[in-house]
Every structure is written in C-alpha cells, then in structure tokens.
Amino acid sequence: MKTVKITLLILLIIATSCKNLSFTPGTYSTEAQGYGGVIKADVIFSEDSLKSVVITQHNETQFIGDIALTSLIERMVEANGTGVDAVSGATATSDGLKELVKNAAKMAGKNNL
C-alpha cells in the first residue's frame, strides 16, 4: 500500500510539472532591455510551441551579445520556453531575450512560459 501511494505521488508530480502549452498562433513584436540597450524581435508561436525568434534590432556587444542571442534562441526553441540557462558572459543580454520571449508569450495568451 505504501508503494502504491509513493508511485501515485511521483506520477502526480510528473503530471503537474509537464507544461501544457497553448498559444494563439502568430507573430508577436516585442522588446526588452538588454546589456547594450533595447532588444527588439518578432516572436513566432504555433498553437503549441515557440517556433522562432527573429531579432529585428539590438545594440549588444559584437562577438559576445550577438552570439549569445543566436545561441539562446536555439536553446529556447528546442526547450519550447525560457527555462534555459543564460549564456555565460552575457547575462544581461540573456535576461533581456528571455523577458522579450515571455512578453510575446503573454501576448499569445500564455503567462507561465
């Protein structure tokens, strides 16, 4: 009986930790503060996933911030959310990009990306 309760508890934890994502599909233009200033982007969602982030403007440091943007976008799309580690050496840029994607997710109807 104790084993059954533990198994059920584990299944409950797993079930509640899985994200059931649902977005209003489309392209959402948004911005957030990065290290070098405002980062602007178009964030594209399908009904159930983050499809892409297209940076339209930034002033991040060349060879650091701009590389961090590319790397972080790839990881967020793969993870289908912002729950990825910041790029070492580009924390402010990473935080700005994550905030930008969260803002777009809110516009697409999802508040806990």
Q: How many domains does the chain have?
A: 1
Residue 71 lies in a domain: yes
Residue 16 pLDDT: 44
47 within a domain of the structure (yes/no) = yes
Inside any domain, residue 76: yes
Pairing of strands 38-45, 50-57: antiparallel
Residue 2 contacts by C-beta under 8 Å, 6 or more apart in sequence? Answer: none
Judge whether 79 lies within some domain: yes
Which residues in 34-55 are b (16+ Cβ under 10 Å) and which e? bbbeebbbebbbeeeebeebeb
Cα distance between residue 96 and residue 49, in whole Å? 20
Which has the closest alpha carbon to 26: 97, 93, 96, 109? 109
Show the domain range for 80: 23-107
Q: What pLDDT does residue 19 have?
A: 55
Q: Assess if residue 2 is contained within a domain.
A: no
Looking at residue 44, which CATH number applies to its domain? 3.90.1010.20
5 inside domain: no
Low pLDDT (below 70) residues in the chain: 1-20
Question: What pLDDT, on a 0 to 100 scale, did the predictor assign at position 3?
Answer: 65
Q: How far apart are the first and last CA of the chain?
A: 37
pLDDT for res 5: 58
CA–CA distances in Å: residue 17 to residues 13, 20, 21: 6, 9, 12
pLDDT at 111: 76
Residue 69 located in a structural domain = yes
Distance of alpha carbon 104 from alpha carbon 85, whole angstroms? 19
